[in-house]
Chain A
Amino acid sequence: MAPLDKEEGTRIEVTDGALLPTRGDGRIIDSWRITIAFAILALLSLLFIAKDPYDQIFKVVIKGAPLTFGVTAGAILGSIILGLFTGLGQIARGRVLNLIAGVYVELIRGIPLLVQLIFIYFALGKFFHLDGFPAAVIALSICYGAYMGEIFRAGIQAIPQGQMEAALALGMTRGQAMRLIILPQTMKIIIPAIGNEFIAMLKDSSLVSVIALRDILRRGREHVSRTFLSLETYAVVALVYLVITLVLSKLVANMEDRMNQNER
């Protein structure tokens, strides 16, 4: 039986992204703060105390950030759409739809992301003339769509059965009930999980550097090949990813907090 007045919404989590800061423990020192302080201090001391060659490296590497964000944002949109259909396919009452969605998820989960990316990129290139950017967005969308599908499936199944029954009892079709009643509630509870996926995808988007897209990592690699400053360069690259990821994970956690406060 569903709890009637939930203090807190159902929370769907995947453990793929950065650790979401624990909410509301109220202590000054927590793991998130230690890590972000370390990352920012390290980056600042490299840039302003050690300076050369780090300031130069940073200027080069950060130029890849818009592309990293762009690919991630595009792919999160693509994977949400794909994930929605996959999740619906998984729970649909038609056996064929279940199988199509199921096989897609199995396929994707069974192949390493890097292998999928390269394969999809070259497979797409064989049949269509796609630029690196759309190809990377499509490839990442296909890969993450499977995981997103699982999030949607779990989110839909987390909505109490009574919601569907009430909608059907009012004479709605299953489609109307899904669209008007179930999915809006699902979206709300899976937003943190989607935020998490965004962070995970932002990191995984570094894999697109192998397919000639000049993201943060690619800029770093190019810089290394010019200057042979491999340790210095990759240290900056790692710190840039770390700061971005930590900030985003805090944003997601805050968003989740706000949502729980608004919980009616």
Chain B
Amino acid sequence: MSDKKTMVDIRGAEKDFGIVMALKGVDLTVTEGEVVLIIGPSGSGKSTLLRSINRLEALTGGQIFVDGDPLVGPDADIRKIREETGMVFQDFNLFPHKTALENISLAPMKVKGKSAEEAKSIAMKLLERVGLGDRGDSYPGQLSGGQKQRVAIARALAMEPKVMLFDEPTSALDPEMVKEVLDVMLDLAREGMTMMVVSHEMGFARAAADRVVFMDEGEIVEIAPPDVIFEHPKEERTKKFLKHIL
């Protein structure tokens, strides 16, 4: 692992919401090609941590480097970092007034300045990759939850990100649609994408995650490979939490 380059470097990340301290000095390093699953009870700060990486939440302390670029400070170029980090949301957040194809091709055109044809061909390829080659002209409202989330993944991939952030990508889905989304994520993991996933999908964790991070009350309590943390958690808090969800 030591010869691999660091993709996301979180150093002493703090987020103070005023009433609660959502992050109390979090350190975490994610190397290129690594898949990290973040678990923890609600309010533990796991989503806040993920959303800090592309500054949807601004840190109140600490620093994050994405592929060496700082997120905070005078040298920070937030748009560059956002271009390099794809994000997938729990509620999909597809643009309802655009077709699936337009959802995917919009940012490559408007942000990266690609031509319409080029953006469209990128979008077509990605749609096929997530198994929706025939749904390009559908509007989000005409798609099932699982299809929406696959389009959302394709939309993020269209920017050719170096890191993919998944914020509870299957939590809003009906059970029978979870698998189709996880399959796409598994493929991505196998292809070597650096991924940070907030999720409690243990099957995905076992199949794809290199490490599982357990967070509670704004801190990282334990980090270990999936079989280790699920079978033999060290910390008392981890044991208690896993008993609830396993």
Contacts and interface: CB of A to CB of B under 8 A. Distances in A.
11 contacts: A165-B89, A166-B89, A166-B94, A169-B56, A170-B155, A171-B80, A171-B82, A176-B110, A263-B141, A264-B140, A264-B141
A4 B172 contact: yes
A263 B140 CA distance: 11
Contacts of A263: 141
A162 interface: yes
A181 B85 CA distance: 20
A163 interface: yes
Interface string A1-31: 1101100000000000000000000000000
Size band of the A side of the interface?
Answer: 20 to 34
Contacts of A185: 95-97
The 10 closest A-B pairs by CB, nearest first: A264-B141, A166-B93, A171-B83, A170-B107, A162-B93, A169-B87, A264-B139, A171-B111, A171-B82, A184-B97
Interface of B: 54, 56, 79-80, 82-83, 85-87, 89, 91-97, 106-107, 110-112, 139-142, 145, 155-156, 159, 172
Contacts of A264: 96, 139-142
A71 B139 CA distance: 38
Contacts of A160: 91, 93
Given A170-B156, A171-B111, A165 B139 contact: no
Nearest to A1: B91
A182 to B, nearest CB: 10
A71 B91 CA distance: 45
Nearest to A181: B95
Contacts of B156: 169-170
B147 to A, nearest CB: 13
**Most A CB atoms within 10 A — which of B87, B110, B145, B159?**
B110
B145 A165 contact: no
A170 B140 contact: no
Given A165-B89, A264-B139, A264-B140, A171 B95 contact: no
Contacts of B91: 1-2, 4, 160, 162
A56 interface: no
A180 interface: yes
Nearest to B141: A264
Given A5-B141, A160-B93, 12 more contacts: A162-B91, A166-B87, A169-B85, A170-B106, A170-B159, A171-B83, A172-B107, A172-B110, A176-B110, A188-B97, A263-B141, A264-B139
A172 B145 CA distance: 25
A162 B95 contact: no
A168 interface: yes
Contacts of B110: 172, 176, 180
A261 interface: no
Contact of A173 (B79, B86, B140): B79
A2 B159 CA distance: 26
Interface string A93-136: 00000000000000000000000000000000000000000000
Contacts of B83: 170-171
B89 A172 contact: no
Nearest to B89: A162
A5 B86 CA distance: 24
B155 to A, nearest CB: 7
Contacts of B107: 170-172
A202 B159 CA distance: 48
Contacts of B80: 171
Contacts of B106: 170, 180
Contacts of B89: 162, 165-166
A171 B159 contact: yes
Contacts of A176: 110-111
**Most B CB atoms within 10 A — which of A1, A5, A170?**
A170
Contacts of A181: 95
